[in-house]
């Protein structure tokens, strides 16, 4: 189950699978509580959208303060719609990856989204966290499976012990695709309505998690559709190229 809390007008969405672990910090932002003007109003946390850098930095400070850690501790993924996974031990920016993994306390992994699926992972036995940016290309490129395999190979994590939180993303009600995209997914992951094709990216994520050994009871999906609720969430499909970005973050306190 997901719970929304407010800290100084900042809405933070969190999973109760992860909140019992006091050393773990995690959260999914919305678009409220920041300083960016329209059309980025107001908590835009991503660059490359046309918003000015000063606003973005202020928004990141606001969001990180609400989670009680400094922005200097953020680690960033370049998000190139790949299957690439990188293990880090300090707060760096990694250009050519869509997933970050760490065992180091004080390093807060994040991915930024405005329709793609943000996925946060935690393995409590080995104290390893991961953040994944999963667009349709990343899903097709096995970014989910690669992340789990990396956690297992590098840190002896067990898939059956991993806890997963899936944040707001575009859902099958709105995610219309063409046949070239639909053909990369199973029939169970593509809906057909009135001669149109709609990708169920969330189902594709769940399927790949389960096939990788994740227990369904250990997966918490908020179920929120970004395009259905543009007042609350950024959506590239709804807003176009001037869409802001939300942030999903996870890390461990020192």
Residue 38 falls inside a structural domain: yes
Summarize the confidence of residues 223-249 as an average pLDDT.
97
Q: What would the two tokens of residue 167 be?
A: 């944040």
Domain assignment of residue 235, given as a range: 2-170+216-252
Residue 161 falls inside a structural domain: yes
Where does the pLDDT of residue 7 fall: very low under 50, low under 70, confident under 90, or very high at 90 and above? confident
- CA atoms within 13 A of residue 163's CA, in its CB half-sphere: 20
What is the predicted pLDDT for the residue at 134? 99
Residue 129 falls inside a structural domain: yes
Residue 157 falls inside a structural domain: yes
Please state whether beta strands 108-113 and 246-252 pair in parallel, antiparallel, or not at all (unpaired).
antiparallel
Summarize the confidence of residues 178-205 as an average pLDDT.
98
Residue 205 falls inside a structural domain: no
Residue 29 falls inside a structural domain: yes
Residue 189 falls inside a structural domain: no
Give the number of domains in the chain.
1
CATH number of the domain bearing residue 11: 3.60.140.10
* Cα dihedral 70, 112, 246, 29 sign: negative
Q: How confident is the prediction for the chain on average, in pLDDT?
A: 98
List pLDDT tens digits, range 240-251: 999 999 999 999
Q: Residue 8 above 90 pLDDT?
A: no
The DSSP call for residue 11 is: E
What is the predicted pLDDT for the residue at 48? 85
Residue 208 falls inside a structural domain: no
What is the predicted pLDDT for the residue at 124? 99
Q: Is 1 exposed, middle or buried (0-12, 13-18, 19+ CB in 10 A)?
A: exposed
């Amino acid at each position: 189950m997901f719970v929304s809390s407010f800290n100084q007008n900042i809405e933070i969405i969190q999973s109760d699978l992860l909140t019992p672990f006091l050393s773990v910090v995690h959260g999914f932002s919305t678009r409220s509580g920041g300083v960016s003007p329209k059309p980025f109003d107001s908590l835009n946390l991503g660059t490359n959208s046309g918003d000015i850098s000063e606003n973005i930095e202020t928004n990141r400070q606001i969001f990180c303060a609400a989670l009680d850690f400094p922005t200097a501790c953020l680690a960033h993924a370049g998000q190139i719609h790949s299957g690439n996974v990188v293990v880090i031990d300090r707060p760096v920016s990694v250009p050519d990856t869509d997933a970050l993994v760490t065992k180091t306390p004080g390093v807060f992994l994040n991915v930024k989204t405005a329709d793609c699926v943000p996925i946060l992972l935690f393995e409590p036995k080995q104290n390893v966290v991961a953040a994944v940016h999963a667009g349709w290309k990343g899903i097709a490129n096995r970014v989910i499976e690669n992340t789990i395999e990396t956690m297992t190979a590098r840190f002896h994590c067990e898939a059956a012990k991993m806890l997963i939180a899936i944040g707001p993303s575009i859902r099958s009600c709105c995610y219309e695709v063409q046949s070239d995209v639909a053909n990369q997914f199973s029939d169970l992951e593509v809906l057909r309505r009135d001669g149109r094709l709609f990708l169920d990216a969330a189902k594709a994520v769940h399927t790949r998690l389960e096939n990788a050994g994740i227990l369904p009871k250990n997966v918490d999906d908020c179920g929120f559709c970004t395009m259905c609720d543009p007042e609350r969430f950024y959506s590239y499909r709804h807003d176009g190229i001037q869409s802001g970005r939300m942030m999903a973050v996870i890390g461990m306190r020192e």
